[in-house]
Structure 1
């Protein structure tokens, strides 16, 4: 007599039902995938609306799962910081003393800049923040890097608006639904950010690589290559990203380009700020009312 482990599914009605249900689920998944593929090819606006609707439904679940994952992932850091708290406290005290001197010089420079701008009657942009929102999720295992934020058209968020975190630039909104929006992160291969070096203003471009890093190229070779340790900020060129938003820090120098690490990490962020475009597009021309 054959052993129980060698029996076929036909000997067990429960095994037959399980096998049948698995086949049904597999066939249904293939059919749904084929329909979605056809819709994405034949009617991209409808597919975009379906994707936005799916994001609206799954955003609360994704947010809860992401919150739990971030909490579990931060446990080793909490344990490590408990044993190094005394040394870290002394280091931070020394850093505060150094930063106080730098802060005094920065305040003096800021006051001088304000006085010169008033003399020149320069017009400054107003408040550029639209909404502070929660980062629901972000892709970490794909070459296409997107993030989902819990704010949409109802909160004044539209496609083209830049998004930043406490440490630096995250990306820009490419698709907005009623209460959620998709953000193209700066590390995506389709992202190109005009930047400048903080210490001397040397311009360049930071392009995403899809692996969590940025490739930085200078515009003018006469300014020299970017060196390790250089801080890059947005230049304001192009009219989307406002100037002086931190972007990345150069970590490796190449022959014609350099590698930089983004200062903002969306995979560990809880909140982000959506800003207005630095130079919004001009209004449409008036309609022709002539008979």
Structure 2
């Protein structure tokens, strides 16, 4: 049987050199440490200079290692921060959406309150007011312009009565039922309203165009010039509409016939005031017996 192989260091030069080099380094380290200890004790200045030189050499390496460690440690924190920020942004967006809805609702309520207060003031000043009722619908998409009022004969509403809003004239009652009435709007092609210009009293007729606007037509005279911004109110002619109710404002200048925008837009109204005719039509005389 072959003898076992000897594993002692004497049989391997590499291991001999490694052990010898370890001893040399250990002895050299001990000697250097002792020298540094003696120098730092008896003459600190050279030791401080040596220490700072070594620190200058090792500082960049330490900085790189510290940055790498910080980057590795910061990865989980960065991921967690991202998800927290994402959730926070989602919550803030939801809060902003709810706040916007509340602001919009508050603006609508404030606008309705202002408009209703103006209507109440108008009703208190109007001695011939019959009832304040709601405009429940209007024909904004057809060639005819009508609106439905949720008050009828039981509330005292009758044909021929004027309907107005806080901003101006809306139209007149043409049909009535027990609890509803039909309103012919000033923008209907069949509507003719006697008006006058505010600044000089020039008479005219406001005729509906069927598209949400009216034509201002001069009467009795020709070559009448109209300027943009001219305001027209009811003149009282005919006895149906009381004088001084705002009707429309001219949008473009012209001569004899110009286009105007009504002050009261039925599509934007929900309440209106029904008033008696300015000069009620006298009742027909009773027939005399023969």
If the TM-score is normalised by the length of the shorter chain, which range does it land in? 0.5 to 0.7
CA deviation vs aligned residue, 1:159-178 (integer Å, no higher than 9, x gap):
11110011000000000000
1:263 deviates by 0.3
CA deviation vs aligned residue, 1:131-173 (integer Å, no higher than 9, x gap):
1111111111001000000110001111111100110000000
| 8 Å contact from structure 2 (residues 193, 206) kept in 1 | yes
Distance 1:138 1:199 in 2: 32
Structure 2 residue aligned with 1:212 = 212
CA deviation vs aligned residue, 1:94-113 (integer Å, no higher than 9, x gap):
xxxxxxxxxxxxxxxxxxxx
Distance 1:204 1:223 in 2: 13
Q: Which runs of 4+ in 1 moved over 6 A?
A: none
Structure 1 residue aligned with 2:161 = 161
Distance 1:127 1:223, change over 3 A: farther
Structure 2 residue aligned with 1:24 = none
SS of residue in 2 equivalent to 1:243: coil
1:270 deviates by 1.3
- How many residues get paired? 173
Q: What TM-score results when the alignment is normalised by the length of structure 1?
A: 0.56
Distance 1:272 1:224 in 2: 34
1:226 deviates by 1.9
Q: Aligned ranges for residues 15-34 of structure 1 at < 5 Å?
A: none
SS of residue in 1 equivalent to 2:204: strand
CA RMSD of the aligned region, Å? 2.4
| 8 Å contact from structure 1 (residues 218, 225) kept in 2 | no
Q: Aligned ranges for residues 134-173 of structure 1 at < 5 Å?
A: 134-173=134-173
SS of residue in 1 equivalent to 2:232: strand
Rg (Cα) greater in structure: 2
CA deviation vs aligned residue, 1:71-102 (integer Å, no higher than 9, x gap):
xxxx7x949x89xxxxxxxxxxxxxxxxxxxx
1:268 deviates by 1.1
SS of residue in 2 equivalent to 1:236: coil
1:282 deviates by 1.0
Distance 1:233 1:223, change over 3 A: farther
Structure 2 residue aligned with 1:201 = 201
Structure 1 residue aligned with 2:121 = none
| 8 Å contact from structure 1 (residues 218, 226) kept in 2 | no
Distance 1:225 1:283 in 2: 41
| 8 Å contact from structure 1 (residues 202, 223) kept in 2 | no
SS of residue in 2 equivalent to 1:252: coil
Q: Aligned ranges for residues 37-48 of structure 1 at < 5 Å?
A: none
| 8 Å contact from structure 2 (residues 224, 256) kept in 1 | no
CA deviation vs aligned residue, 1:173-224 (integer Å, no higher than 9, x gap):
0000001000000000000110000111110001000001111111143683
Q: What TM-score results when the alignment is normalised by the length of structure 2?
A: 0.56
1:248 deviates by 0.4
